[in-house]
Amino acid sequence: MSAGETGQGARTEQAGADDAGQRIDNYLLRVLRGVPRTRVYRLLRKGEVRVNGGRVKPAYRLQEGDRVRLPPVRTDRHPDGRLPPAALERLRDSVLYEDERCLVIDKPPGLAVHAGSGLAAGVIDGMRELRPDLGGLELVHRLDRDTSGCLLLARGRPALRALQQELREGGFEKTYAALLIGHWAGPETTVDLALRRDVLSSGERMVRPDATGKSARSHFRRLGGSDRLTLAEVVIETGRTHQIRVHAATLGHPVLGDSKYGDASAARAALGRKAPRLYLHAWRLAFTGAAGRVTVESPLPDEFRTLAGGPQ
């Protein structure tokens, strides 16, 4: 399959066996890398993307042999789709686990997982460049650009479909570490609060609590801290956009460094300076690997414990 273009004319692609079952919106985000998500959905809404000559909704699942008309679009992606050398170096030794089905990498904070508006490339592009021997690497799930830790990649479309099915059925166990602003006494609580995602006119994604939204459950447990900051373990049952960040904010203790849902003045007061990053880390990930159940852990960055007040 072609991976996007900046040319003048429309083109038609035929869905292959590896594309069967994939939602058309996710397919477009893959083949039109560098096109903003909002633009992709606008193409579908206006009927500029056609499948077998007709309009389709974002939830349409491709079948092998489907003919997909792709309109001419201009992307923000550099023609070679490469990460800068410094970013590639950050990924070079990032593999935490690998088998014939998948690999888990330790994603650095500050790197987007895929190309997007204003971004030439992402982590997935860097890993494809670093590991051409694997072929067909695909993102199973996503992490926010400023979140670090365990990120699962599938080796080929069949593995991707199986792992994403497991993810949809709740078969993954996801544990995060978060530094929360202020003294949260805990010792533990469950936030069960539905979330609704909105896209502002600027294209920025925002999430807010809304009973009409999608269900979301997060389990918070205090690990330690001080009167300024709290180190918490967060286990999520669902994987909604910005789920932990919004749920933490509803507790009155937003994640340190969260410029979207947090409090910059409170963060500066707690840290004594501007937070250099979002202090949210994908700590452990459990799923089904090639040989059975696997649990992978990304080492907790030292600064999480140090800022929270010492060893926990």
In this structure, which CATH number among 3.10.290.10, 3.40.50.300, 3.30.70.270, 1.20.1050.10 belongs to the domain 11-70? 3.10.290.10
Which one, of 215, 237, 241, lies nearest residue 141 by Cα?
241
In this structure, which CATH number among 3.20.20.70, 3.30.2350.10, 2.30.40.10, 3.40.50.920 belongs to the domain 85-168? 3.30.2350.10
d(CA 188, CA 211): 23
76-112 per-position pLDDT tens digit = 444 456 778 888 888 989 999 999 999 999 999 988 8
Alpha helices in the chain (DSSP H): 24-31, 37-45, 85-92, 123-130, 157-168, 243-250, 264-271, 302-308
Q: What are the residues whose beta carbons fall under 8 Å from the beta carbon of 284, sequence distance 6 or more?
A: 150, 173, 174, 175, 295, 296, 297, 298
How many C-beta atoms lie closer than 10 Å to residue 19's C-beta?
22
Q: What percent of the chain has pLDDT over 70?
A: 90
Of 4-8, 191-195, 197-201, 268-272, give the lowest mean pLDDT range.
4-8
Where are the domain boundaries for CATH 3.30.2350.10 in the chain? 85-168, 173-284+300-308
> Left, alpha or beta for 201 (phi > 0: left; psi -120 to 50: alpha)?
alpha
Token pair 């979207």 in the structure block, residue = 260
d(CA 50, CA 142): 27
Where are the domain boundaries for CATH 3.10.290.10 in the chain? 11-70
Cβ(151)–Cβ(107) under 8 Å? yes
In this structure, which long-range contacts are made by residues 132-135, counting pairs with CB atoms below 8 Å and at least 24 apart in sequence? 134/103
111-129 per-position pLDDT tens digit = 888 776 555 678 988 999 8
Q: What is the pTM of this model?
A: 0.77
Average pLDDT, the chain: 87
121-178 per-position pLDDT tens digit = 789 889 998 988 887 899 999 999 999 999 999 998 889 999 999 999 999 999 999 9
Percentage helix, strand, coil for the chain under 3-state DSSP, each rounded to 5: 20, 30, 50
Q: Is 19 a catalytic residue?
A: no
How many C-beta atoms lie closer than 10 Å to residue 171's C-beta?
13
Q: Using CA of residue 67, residue 71, residue 74, residue 79, what is the dihedral sign? A: positive
Cβ(246)–Cβ(236) under 8 Å? no
Of 77-81, 233-237, 305-309, give the lowest mean pLDDT range.
77-81
CATH fold of the domain at 173-284+300-308: Pseudouridine synthase (3.30.2350)
12-62 per-position pLDDT tens digit = 999 887 788 889 998 898 788 667 778 889 899 999 999 999 999 999 999
The pairing of beta strand 217-225 with beta strand 102-107: unpaired
202: confidence class by pLDDT, cuts 50, 70, 90: low
d(CA 239, CA 285): 13
d(CA 256, CA 273): 11
Tokens of 266: 């409170």
Out of 144, 146, 198, 227, pick the active-site residue.
Answer: 144
